[in-house]
Amino acid sequence: MKVNATDIGQMASASDVIFDALREAIARGDVKEGQVLRQDHIARMFNVSRIPVREALTRLEEQGLVSTQRYRGAVVASLSIDEVREIFEFRALLEPEVLRHSIARISDEALAEAATYAEAFGTEHDSAKWGDLNRQFHYTLYREAGRPYYLQTISAALDRVDRYLRAQLVLTDGMERARREHEGILRACVARDADLAAELTRAHILGASQSLVAFLERTRKENGEALV
């Protein structure tokens, strides 16, 4: 039998759809930190009852993207500068390691795909898309590491800091520098130089962290509170 079968058992439930939508909105910064997420409001947006919304919010809290107080609702979690620094340090430990394993077995196709993302990242004028392209570039390089657990963990960490990362690209000199560093990483990957690629990735992440932390320290001193 030859039909285009899709596994219906894996189809997304209402809760899945809402969870994904909210996660993306929070990661991208479309809903600001500190904002309260009203169950009823979200339920009406998706035309469902509050039950699947609550499930989605529960999952978001488990991921650390929102924090909840009993009877008070969920608010988009905000990160202290220390937390931002820690998560970047965490990424700087994991990502080079994954890239190292990936390079051993990465296909030419994946390298070409990464190259197109790096290229698009460099030429894209709409700053709102930089974050996605940046993420896709790195993810393409990591994908074939054969380390699904690492990838999941990295992805969760990225979700937590994504909106800061985007701010760093847009609001500082981050963009131009990231473009250069991506090229370097890609070259090292093409040359299958795992040590160099790993070290460049590490520096890439830690450099972004430094620039971002400096930026946050400046703006938070002025504004008292977070704005991202």
Partner DNA sequence: ATATTGCAAATTGGATCCAAAAAACAGATG
Partner DNA sequence: CATCTGTTTTTTGGATCCAATTTGCAATAT
The DSSP symbol for 2 reads: -
73 binding DNA? (CB under 7 A) = yes
Q: Per-residue DSSP letters for 85-131? A: HHHHHHHHHHHHHHHHHHHTT--HHHHHHHHHHHHHHHH---GGGHH
Decide which of DNA, its own copies, none touches 50; Cβ closer than 5 to 8 Å per partner kind: DNA
168 with 125: CB under 8 angstroms? no
Tell me: does residue 13 bind DNA (CB under 7 A): yes
Binding test (CB under 7 A) with DNA, winner from 6, 9, 82, 223: 9
For DNA, which is the closer residue by CB, 26 or 157?
Answer: 26
Rg (CA), the chain: 19
Q: Burial letters for 200-227: b for 16+ Cβ neighbours within 10 Å, e otherwise? A: bbbebbebbbebbbebbeebeeeeeebe
Read off the DSSP letter of residue 32.
Answer: -
* Minimum distance from residue 64 beta carbon to DNA (Å): 16
Q: How far is the CB of 69 from its own copies (least distance, A)?
A: 5
Site membership for its own copies, residue 125 (CB under 8 A): no
From 149, 221, 223, 224, residue interacting with its own copies (rule: CB under 8 A): 149
Query: Which among its own copies, DNA, none contacts residue 86 (Cβ within 5 to 8 A by kind)?
Result: its own copies
SS3 label, residue 66? strand
Cβ-based nearer residue to its own copies, 101 or 220: 101
CA quadruple 163, 164, 169, 171: dihedral positive or negative? positive
Q: Which is nearer to its own copies, 10 or 223 (CB)?
A: 10
Cβ-based neighbours of 124, under 8 Å, separated by 6 or more: 130, 133
Question: With contact defined as beta carbons under 8 Å apart, do 40 and 51 qualify?
Answer: no
- Applying CB under 7 A, does 26 fall inside the site for DNA? no
- Interaction between residue 72 and its own copies (CB under 8 A): yes
SS3 218: helix
Length reported for the chain: 228
Residue 17 or 175: which CB sits closer to its own copies? 17
Position 15 contacts its own copies (CB under 8 A): yes
Residues 208 and 218: their CA atoms lie apart, in Å, by 15
Using CB under 8 A as the binding criterion, the count of chain residues that bind its own copies stands at 32
- Name the site residues for DNA (rule: CB under 7 A): 8-9, 13-15, 36-40, 48-52, 54-55, 68, 70-74
- Name the site residues for its own copies (rule: CB under 8 A): 8-11, 13, 15, 51, 54-55, 58-59, 62-64, 69-72, 83, 86-87, 90, 93-94, 97, 147-150, 152-153, 157
